[in-house]
Amino acid sequence: MFFSVLVPVYNAEPFLKDCMDSVLRQSEQDFEIILVNDGSVDGGGMICDRYRALHAGKIKVLHQPNRGLISARRAGINAAEGEYCIFLDADDTLEPDALAVIRETIAREQADIVVFNYYNRYEPEFTTAVAEAVFADNTVFRGEAEKKPVYTEMIGSWRLNNLCTKAIRSPLVKQDDTPYEEYAANPHTEDLLQSLYPVTHAETIVYRSVPLYNYRRIQQSISTRVLPGKIDKQFNDAVMNRLRAYMTLWGMDTPEQLERFHARKINGLITLFWQHYRAADGDEEKRAMMDYPWGTHLDAEDLKYATSAALPRMRRIQLDAILHHKKHKLDWIARIGEIRMRASHGE
């Protein structure tokens, strides 16, 4: 068996049929599907069992109490019998020739990992956009020296985080000795976490710019309630610390790469602040967002790089206003941002 398609399922009843059918209709049919029902309280578990009954020998179903996305993915990996693992979220779909393109790429380059592009499918607008390619199509990275651009991208941006845009040789995920139980309570940035070991130990990685995956993007407003515990999880400092440790393992903890890493952390903090601040309803909620201890997510090394050239001047101004609770300046920056957004839409 060549592919194991791993699908964690949690309360995905409205989308699961489309997800499953997109796999079953692949032009490449040498695969198994492993559905991990992670304690769904809707009809998702029954849909899993129905598909298993209709496609005996092709589909496995694992039922477990709700333990979170990391646990569900690891359970699927442990049960996988295919040579390569494909990761598919239950509300997303694969393009009809996705597995065929991946298999051809593996055969041609003897790839351990194939990273591929994707479509963003926005709802309820029902519009589609292709994600910007990270590298040229069919770019091959062999050995540690050639993998440096992959490491650089993982250090400085989120664009190679997604586990769902990677086909990975099964031993690379099965032999991963990361203590996932220590991270299981927080699913944020788990894609990056689960990508670090296989990318590090892969001999050959191939990038395909062709979009093979469909991300369902459902537009939802962020909650206006200030939930400090939720914000804490959205940072997931533990995963960023893990990435920082891998930088040393890769020999990438140079001043230039550290600048990129810390700029990524700071930009993430600023972006998260604005998501919550713009959603706040009135001065009281805005004040609560300003009073949140944002600075606790930056260590001394982060602050050392807060004035570096890797961080644009306007971002440095924003960071200063956030850390020092300068409401008037933040409101001024927010108004400028709204004006620019309206102008970009021709308003």
Give yes or no: residues 174 and 63 share one domain.
yes
- Tell me: the pLDDT tens digits for 276-326? 888 888 888 888 888 899 999 999 989 988 888 888 899 999 999 999 989
Please indicate, yes or no, whether residues 190 and 141 belong to a single structural domain of this protein: yes
109-151 pLDDT per residue, tens = 999 999 999 999 998 888 999 999 999 999 999 999 999 999 9
In-domain check, residue 223: no
Residues 210 and 61 in one domain: yes
Any domain includes 119: yes
Question: For the chain, which ranges sit under pLDDT 70?
Answer: 219-229, 339-347
Q: pTM of the prediction?
A: 0.91
Same domain as 207, residue 165: yes
Task: Note whether 164 and 115 are same-domain residues.
Answer: yes
* The last residue of a domain, from among 180, 195, 218: 218
Tell me which of 218, 252, 271 is where a domain ends: 218
Strands 84-87 and 3-9: parallel
Last residue of one domain, picked from the residues 199, 218, 237? 218
**β-strands 31-38, 59-64: how paired?**
parallel
Q: Are residues 155 and 126 in the same domain?
A: yes
Range of the domain at 275: 228-344
| Same domain assignment for residues 59 and 25 | yes
* Same-domain pairing of 308 and 328: yes
- How many whole angstroms separate alpha carbon 202 and alpha carbon 193? 15
Same-domain check for residues 183 and 299: no
> 275 vs 49, 101, 124, 221, 226, CA distance in Å?
39, 37, 20, 10, 11
Total count of domains within the chain: 2
Residue 66, number of CB atoms within 10 A of its CB: 13
pLDDT at residue 145, as a whole number: 94
Q: How many CB atoms lie within 10 A of CB 247?
A: 18
| The token pair that represents 329 in the structure block | 């300046």
User: Within this chain, do residues 197 and 309 fall inside the same structural domain, yes or no?
Assistant: no
Same domain, 42 and 149: yes
